[in-house]
Amino acid sequence: MKSSKLPMRGIYNDTCVNEALSTNSKSTQDDSQKPGQPQVTNVSFDTITLSWRSPEIFNTGDFFQIGYRDLDDSRWKVYVGEYHQSTHTLTNLKSNAKYVFRVRAVYSDIEGPYSDVSQVIETKSSPASRYIALCERIGTATPRRYRLKMQEVPSSKNEKAKSKKYQLGSCSTQNVKEKTMLLIGETGTGKSTLVDAIINYILGVNYDDNFRFTVNDEDLDRAQNQSMSQTEWITCFTIHPEEGSRLPYSLNIIDTPGFGDTRGIKRDQAIVEQIRQLFCARPPQGILTIDMVCCTLKAPDARLSTMQTYVFHSVMSLFGNDIKKNMCSIITFADSSSPPVLSALRDSGLPFGKHFTFNNTALFSDNTEAQKEGPSPRSFWEMGVRSFTSCFEHMKTMPERSLQLTQEVLNERRRLDATLERMQPIVEFGLTKISELKRQIQLFNDNKTRIEENKDFTYSETVYEHDIQDLPKGIHVTNCKHCNVTCHDNCVFADDKDKMNCSAMDPNGYCMKCEDHCIWSVHTNSPYLLTMKPVKKEQTFFRMKAEFDKAMGKSSNFKDLLNKLALDLKKIADDIEVNMETVNKCNTRLAEIALCPNPLTMTEHIDMMIHNEKTVKKDGWSDRIEALTNLRKRALVKADASKFQAEAGSHGVSGGSTNPDESQTERITCFTIHPEEGSRLLYSLNIIDTAGFGDIRGIERDQAIVERFRQLFCAKPPQGILTIDMVCCTLKAPDARLSTMLKYVFHSVMSFHGNDIKKNMIFSNNVC
């Protein structure tokens, strides 16, 4: 038994033994209680694995303590923990440092003597220690801070989208795996400091090291307004693995500008556009896959504010729903592993995923002074190391995700926003026109006798006139020179050569906002906005009738006048119906594929944000309220359009209703019939049905049809066609002579084909 080996128990320390014991007694005790000298079995840049012989009397319930001393320090320290095996790996040691170790056993009622001191053991060089000589020191703080010199990748820089890439090291083999993490969140949550912490972790920096690395410009950060995002560009930092790295793969860390700063909604929309361009561009300027999307939050926030709720709805609405399992939460400024913000995350109902806690105040804090009160920087550092280890282990379990569905979400959102923006003035104009129609019907009915007696009278009417608004310096717009309208009122692209990248353009370079969907090259940056404003004008019945008679080419009567008003209304109804169809398709598709709905399409979110701005009143709050109010109007466009359709319907006007003088076909539609057993054709036949030329809506309508043809012929499959076998021109059999209109129609049709199509033209007599 253990007691039979111990003639006497006592407390041992580093400097003395029990002088009452005899020399022989001490020797017996030392042999039975003293572990063997620690031997090294493995060394890395920050770990040392030791083993030793257990004392004879060491039993279950006893444990070992490990003492260590850095040869640059005269003090012995105890490595925290109780160890029940005669081997252990010590972690978080300094690189390029010399250590000695000793071990003692702690029994149930006694602390045994320390072992003989080990040989001097030196840790290896970490990647971090190898980079110091190449870096520039910043300031005089302790620990020393160095700006890490990373190599910019010129081919990855996108000036238009404000995205760039830096890399550290190089890929030594083609077999090295690559993983990508995206940091995204509200301004002030510490994303950029987190980037520094990740890089220090990967390079093997430990708490006791007398240096730290940064990739951020600290002087600039201090000078800037703290309520604004310190990050203007999307920046990708690629850290390649090398000997001693904590990660065996290349890691891409994508740092994004912060949402929700004092510049308001328009700034957030610009960030969304930056992210869309990053995700939609091909490498090296874009990315195709992602492994982890990290939402950054501050630990003390026990409840998400209105702005935070908006920010995270905005962030998650960018992604396809296949990203849900790749979402995680990075909680900063945490004092513990269970911060108050966790309850807010649970209550939000948003897919925040697994969380990891950090307090990066420890990153650059002085590590030479003991903390007198509160949690120590060392404990924060160790919490961060544990969280990083857990985070990157979790990343291993996540499947790499293609951004294809996310690209579709972003493009659908872009198309929806462009359509709603285009619809807003049309709907407002339509509702005004309905009021005008009601008033004029009443006016004409009240003056029916005068009209029939051909007597003049005066009335007021609302007309829409072009209004030019000068812009402040630094604000750019996209104006269509052909349609004479503003297609994008706050564009990041000032150079006309870059207008193809404007958010108003579709992927093929055609404007989604101007009436004729013009090519990007007829758009320009101007120092003014072009808008339509309502103006009240005095009008006389005779003047109005003369203008109408001239347009019709004949003398008109009372019924003709009312029909003209209804026809004007129908044009608006047709336009709204076409746009509503696009809106409904976009919303349906986004409901299927988006991770979350866009909060800026939900009036309740916008109302809460307006209320919050009125309450808090931070600098620039009135400008932000104005922007939010405009967005609220856009969010209500669909409801206003439905109201317009109901009002127009009450007057017998509806978009898309049939009229023998108007084409029944609004879109170009391709019907593909594939062959099967018994078919009369042995090949697949594509029948392309087009809108009819020459209806009563006039030349502008025909020009719009020509533009649709051009887009069909210029787009790549599957949205366009590359070849054609037969062009069929349809005519009515009774037409013994081509009228002026028919000649115009067929000249129009044939003018947009090349002369190589001549032998592929046929005429078909329509006797239906």
pLDDT digit string (tens) for 65-108?
A: 999 999 988 899 999 889 999 999 998 888 889 999 999 999 98
CATH fold match for the domains 2-122 and 139-402: no
pLDDT the model gives residue 483: 87
pLDDT the model gives residue 729: 84
Residue 147, H or E segment = strand 144-147
Contact 708, 691 (CB under 8 A): yes
Over residues 350-377, the mean pLDDT reads 85
pLDDT the model gives residue 13: 36
- Which of 204, 43, 47 is closest to 126 using CA atoms? 204
Alpha-carbon distances, residue 764 vs 64, 487, 585, 727, 731 (angstroms): 98, 41, 35, 10, 6
Pick 750 or 377 by higher pLDDT: 377
272-286 confidence digits (pLDDT tens): 889 988 998 899 999
pLDDT the model gives residue 25: 40
- How does 205-237 read in b/e, with b if 16+ C-beta sit within 10 Å? bbbbbebbbbbbeeeeeeeeeeebbbbebbbbb
Where along the chain do its domains lie? 2-122, 139-402, 413-471+527-650, 669-766
Contact 576, 655 (CB under 8 A): yes
Could you tell me the pLDDT band of residue 384, with boundaries at 50, 70 and 90?
very high
CA distance 293 to 306: 22
Q: How many CB atoms lie within 10 A of CB 736?
A: 5
Q: Which of 7-21, 169-183, 393-407, 653-667 has the highest mean pLDDT?
A: 393-407
CA distance 123 to 28: 35
CA distance 661 to 546: 24
pLDDT the model gives residue 613: 75
Contact 502, 520 (CB under 8 A): yes
Pick 21 or 578 by higher pLDDT: 578
Over residues 309-317, the mean pLDDT reads 83
Alpha-carbon distances, residue 292 vs 171, 235, 394, 405 (angstroms): 21, 16, 10, 15
Q: Is 737 exposed, middle or buried (0-12, 13-18, 19+ CB in 10 A)?
A: exposed
pLDDT the model gives residue 700: 66
CA distance 640 to 634: 10
DSSP labels, 269-327: HHHHHHHHHHHHSPTTTS-SEESEEEEEEETT-SS--HHHHHHHHHHHTTSBGGGGGGE
- Return phi, psi of residue 72, to 5°: -80, 0
pLDDT the model gives residue 62: 94
| 2-122 classified as CATH 2.60.40.10 | yes
| 139-402 classified as CATH 3.40.50.300 | yes
What crossing angle do the helices spanning 377-397 and 191-202 adopt, rounded to 10°? 80
Radius of gyration of the chain (CA): 38
Which of 23-27, 417-421, 620-624, 711-715 has the least mean pLDDT? 23-27
Q: Over 70: is that where the pLDDT of 668 sits?
A: yes
Pick 565 or 280 by higher pLDDT: 280
Alpha-carbon distances, residue 158 vs 108, 149, 155, 253 (angstroms): 67, 21, 8, 17
Is-cis flag, bond preceding 38, omega within 30?
Answer: no
Over residues 34-44, the mean pLDDT reads 94
Q: Is 537 exposed, middle or buried (0-12, 13-18, 19+ CB in 10 A)?
A: exposed
246-296 confidence digits (pLDDT tens): 999 999 999 999 888 878 778 888 888 899 889 988 999 999 999 999 999
- Which of 127, 119, 117 is closest to 44 using CA atoms? 127
CA-CA-CA-CA dihedral for 627, 632, 633, 639, to nearest 10: 170
Contact 153, 144 (CB under 8 A): no
Q: Over 70: is that where the pLDDT of 484 sits?
A: yes
- Return phi, psi of residue 662, to 5°: -125, 150
Over residues 408-430, the mean pLDDT reads 83
- Which of 15, 11, 34, 17 is closest to 115 using CA atoms? 34
> What's the mean pLDDT when you consider all of the chain?
82
Over residues 393-408, the mean pLDDT reads 93
CA atoms within 13 A on the CB side of 573: 23
CA distance 492 to 257: 15
Contact 508, 715 (CB under 8 A): yes
Q: Over 90: is that where the pLDDT of 55 sits?
A: yes
Q: Which tokens is 499 given?
A: 């207008």
Over residues 354-372, the mean pLDDT reads 86
- The pTM assigned to this predicted structure is 0.66
- Which of 123, 148, 150 is closest to 133 using CA atoms? 148
Is-cis flag, bond preceding 284, omega within 30?
Answer: yes
Q: Over 90: is that where the pLDDT of 330 sits?
A: yes
Pick 723 or 442 by higher pLDDT: 723
CA distance 195 to 216: 9
Token pair 């260590």 in the structure block, residue: 68
Could you tell me the pLDDT band of residue 12, with boundaries at 50, 70 and 90?
very low
Alpha-carbon distances, residue 702 vs 689, 732, 745 (angstroms): 15, 19, 9
Contact 96, 123 (CB under 8 A): yes
pLDDT the model gives residue 746: 76
As a three-state string, the secondary structure of 392-440 is: HHHHHHCCCEECHHHHHHHHHHHHHHHHHHHHHHHHHHHHHHHHHHHHH
- Which of 153, 411, 86, 391 is closest to 273 using CA atoms? 411
Which of 213-217, 563-567, 676-680 has the least mean pLDDT? 563-567
Over residues 363-377, the mean pLDDT reads 79
DSSP secondary structure letter of residue 150:
P
Alpha-carbon distances, residue 328 vs 130, 304, 314, 348, 625 (angstroms): 33, 17, 16, 14, 32
pLDDT the model gives residue 745: 72
- Which of 475, 467, 482 is closest to 525 using CA atoms? 475
Q: Over 80: is that where the pLDDT of 29 sits?
A: no
Which of 175-189, 301-315, 480-494 has the least mean pLDDT? 301-315
Over residues 5-32, the mean pLDDT reads 40
Could you tell me the pLDDT band of residue 239, with boundaries at 50, 70 and 90?
very high
Pick 321 or 307 by higher pLDDT: 321
pLDDT the model gives residue 658: 43
Q: What percent of the chain clears pLDDT 90, i.e. is strictly above it?
A: 30
CA distance 498 to 696: 38
